[in-house]
Amino acid sequence: HVAAMGITRAHVERLLAESNIGLVLYRPRQCYIESQPLKLFEYMAAGCAVVASDISALREVLDDADAEWFAPGDPAALARAIRALAAAPERARDIGARLREKARRYTWDARGAQLAAIGGDEERAEVLGIRPTGIKTAVFVLSAALLGATGAAFYRARVWLE
């Protein structure tokens, strides 16, 4: 934990507020392909533009125009993507503002409510734009409960698992 190094959550939030671009750098490995990193949502909520590895898990959250994409494992492409956003601060601000708004759909409460609404019905999930993945989806909500979300979120997670 970074808190052990003297870095507080308030310090991280301040750094994010002062940042223009967040980097979401992942290779297409099994451990990343099906997960969406928390830092992505933190960047979005902070209003940062995003430079992102072009992997399917990130494409489930971000549209083409929501990030400066690069091929994973290509350092030259990564450098070009960073330079592209750094050279266009107005575009980076526009992307950041759009992502801040989009982040509201991915709060623990919003995701818990969406999952509770689908109740295991994949057709309803599709209408809501959610791709349920069985236990993994339940674990996402369960994680929210363990991280301090409401008791209702924990209940929804338990119901989903049953």
Distance CA(129)–CA(111), nearest Å, equals 11
Beta strands in 62-153, from DSSP E residues, in sequence order: 68-70
Number of Cβ atoms within 10 Å of the Cβ of 67? 25
What is each CA distance from 147 to 18, 51, 108, in whole angstroms? Answer: 26, 27, 9
CB-CB contact of 52 with 85 (8 Å): no
Say what percent of the chain tops pLDDT 70. Answer: 64
Number of Cβ atoms within 10 Å of the Cβ of 22? 21
55-77 pLDDT, tens digit each: 988 998 999 999 999 999 899 99
Q: What is the pLDDT averaged over residues 135-156? A: 40
pTM of structure: 0.67
What is each CA distance from 85 to 15, 33, 66, in whole angstroms? Answer: 18, 25, 12
